[in-house]
Amino acid sequence: MNSKVKFFAILAGIIILSFFLLRSCDFQASNARAGSMYNQSIDGAAALQLWLSKIGYQTESFEYRHFDELDQATNSLISIKPADPTNWRIEEINAVLAWVEDTGGTLIVADDQQNGIFTRLDLTVMSRDELNPTTTNETSHAFVNPAVSGLQNYQTISYFERDRPNSQVLVGTEQQPTMLGISRGRGMIYVSTNVGLFTNTGLFHESNARILLNMVNRVPAGGVIAFDEVHHGRALIPRAAPVPAQPYSPLVAAMVYSAIVVGLWALLSGRRFGQIVPSRIDLMRRNSSEYVQSMANLFQRGRQAEHMQAHYKTYLKRRVAKPYGINPKLDDQSFLSEVQRYSDTIDRNHLAHLLNHLSQPNPSEATILALVNDIDRFINIWEQRGRA
């Protein structure tokens, strides 16, 4: 096949593969959802999660789980502006409310639209006709831990309309409350139409932080506060309506197609199997003993007997000095004095004899060989007696 045709065929395959991979990506779990703890923009809740962790609570993401898995290990659940308010299914609402009633958990729901939780609590989210934000500087006297003396930049265009007075107004008026506290069984529910209170920008205001502390003050120190990410796209398939497996989903198609492309590329560019080609005969390499012999011959031909003698003298002094921490670079007399001061077992006369002969000029090869044997014998005797 022509190389250009092969190149364009592989390029077209890569483009088609990229298309299938993009289609298979799950963009439902995007981190840009408003109210998500993964969102670090102005309308996200990443700052709230980080702040609660810093002040001693354990925070976690409640995602890819069913709400009937909530138990006493979770002390509070925060749900901020679900991506689709209609996603609150009946079984989810029943599970969450049962968890509040039975375990004494704290449920915090913030949304400026009607959702299933609000409907179950007999609350209706209303919008002001003139679309002007509701502002207030007064709060309920229920905020005492810590105290909230006033609100800073508190604005919302929505408020609650209560079908029955089963809740306490925390922010707003009796006619247009924007935050309510509802006692439910052993637990507590806080609902708010002001989503901005919980966002990254909302925590800039101290009054908002104080309100949030009042909401979670029922959570013990080190307790677990979970953030509802199920309603931000990180949900499991509903148990009541399981979706049948799709054998030809985009992801499976992309994997099959990639295998085909790689197989075709290997078939077109690879070499076919044939007769075994004999490998080249490796050159014989020298072993370590040959290197030693070569160095010895080099010194012998270069008449470097004095250099070899100095090498063995240095070796002897270092070997003797190491156990006692003596400087081996001292002159011979000072070195012998230090050795005698630290060791009682070493043969000082023998050592002095060796150092004296290793300092003689113009040594012969036989002399050096005899001295090396004498050095080995001296060290063996010294080590057998002990280095003390």
CATH number at residue 128: 3.40.50
What SS3 state is found at 159?
Answer: strand
Q: How many domains does the chain have?
A: 3
Same domain, 157 and 264: no
The pLDDT score that the predictor gives to residue 316 is: 87
Residue 58 confidence (pLDDT) above 70: yes
Same domain, 18 and 134: no
For 299-358, the pLDDT digits (tens) are 666 667 788 888 888 888 888 888 888 888 888 888 888 888 888 788 888 888 888 888
pTM above 0.85, yes or no: no
| Whole-angstrom distance, CA of residue 44 vs CA of residue 34 | 5
Flag whether 279 is in a domain: no
State the CB neighbour count (10 A cutoff) for residue 232.
30
The pLDDT score that the predictor gives to residue 27 is: 46
State the CB neighbour count (10 A cutoff) for residue 275.
5
Same domain, 252 and 379: no
Q: How would you label 160-196 residue by residue, b for 16+ Cβ within 10 Å and e otherwise?
A: bebeeeebebbbbeeebbbbbbbebeebbbbbbbbbb
Tell me the residue range of the domain where 326 lies: 290-385
For 137-150, the pLDDT digits (tens) are 566 677 888 888 77
The candidate with the shortest Cα–Cα distance to 160, out of 128, 117, 125, 110, is: 125
- Residue 85 banded pLDDT, cuts 50, 70, 90: low
The pLDDT score that the predictor gives to residue 31 is: 59
Residue found under tokens 């029955």 = 164
Same domain, 163 and 265: no
Residue 98 confidence (pLDDT) above 90: yes
Q: What is the largest CA-CA distance in the chain?
A: 116
Same domain, 216 and 304: no
CA-based angle 243:246:24, to the nearest 5? 105
Mean pLDDT, the chain, integer: 81
Residue 28 confidence (pLDDT) above 50: no
Instruction: Report the pLDDT averaged over residues 221-233.
Output: 92
Same domain, 77 and 169: yes
Residue 127 or residue 247, greater confidence: 127
Instruction: Report the pLDDT averaged over residues 25-54.
Output: 80
Same domain, 262 and 322: no
Residue 65 confidence (pLDDT) above 50: yes
Same domain, 68 and 43: yes
Question: Which residues share a beta bridge with 134?
Answer: 156
- Residue 29 banded pLDDT, cuts 50, 70, 90: very low
Instruction: Report the pLDDT averaged over residues 151-159.
Output: 80
Question: Which residues share a beta bridge with 255?
Answer: none
Report the interhelical angle of 3-24 vs 250-269 (nearest 10°): 160
Q: Mind spelling out the 3-state secondary structure of 248-291?
A: CCHHHHHHHHHHHHHHHHHHHHCCCCCCCCCCCCCCCCCCHHHH
Flag whether 78 is in a domain: yes
Percent of the chain's residues with pLDDT above 70: 81
Flag whether 309 is in a domain: yes
Domain end: 232, 260, 280, which one?
232
| Whole-angstrom distance, CA of residue 187 vs CA of residue 104 | 4
Asked whether the beta carbons of 134 and 159 are under 8 A apart, the reply is: yes
Residue 67 or residue 31, greater confidence: 67
The pLDDT score that the predictor gives to residue 252 is: 73
Same domain, 261 and 209: no
